[in-house]
Copies of this chain bind each other. A is one copy, B any other.
């Protein structure tokens, strides 16, 4: 009898993703879902959906979900986790959501070391609204609100969220990953697993930042988008662990 090497995780519902073809949101969803399944926490997990292309992922993750207002997912997650400390709570947020409008909420979730896990999908653009500039948009990158390319004299240099949050004592675990090839997909999954393990162990705030693509608004084919990501995003947003607890500690 044949042996299944890979099949769709049951931590995803059967609903088809609404993402554009080749959008890495889908890969990231699968990774998160598989981790929830493998850690056997799906049935006590409550996820928080952002406002962004992933807004409807409450239809995809096969667990209890709350849809949060734009940028406020960490506050919503805080509300949930504080009243249900034994449940697992995660947010899933884009860069417009987390790095722009939701800056205060992510900083203070880290600051209070809320025992939640944040999945941060940085595709350097506002995907859902049609491709406006994000704080993470690269210098020179053309978007609908930076039609001649992002100019640092006008808009500054892109903000590096993992680096910034890593200065906060309460930020227990922070890693930046990518899913541009199968090797990195595997690494990314390890990172997500470590992040949720932190939460299970009560160690406080954990976040995994994915550099991700938006083929449609970048105006590229899905594969070209991945290549562009490797050539442009990763050099500016280096992958790696930005913060992890020292042995035995909760946080600093």
Query: Chain A: residues with CB nearer than 8 A to chain B?
Result: 100-104, 107-108, 110-113, 135, 152-160, 163-164, 166-170, 250-252
* Closest B residue by C-beta to A135: B111
Given contacts A103-B104, A111-B157, A164-B168, 9 further A-B contacts (CB under 8 A): A102-B104, A107-B107, A107-B159, A111-B156, A113-B152, A113-B156, A153-B250, A157-B252, A159-B168
The answer to whether B168 and A251 touch across the interface, beta carbons within 8 angstroms, is no
- What's the minimum C-beta distance from A205 to chain B, rounded to whole angstroms? 8
Most buried by B among A111, A135, A252: A111
A-B contact pairs, 14 of them (CB 8 A): A103-B107, A103-B108, A107-B107, A107-B164, A108-B135, A110-B156, A111-B156, A111-B157, A153-B250, A156-B170, A157-B170, A157-B252, A160-B168, A167-B167
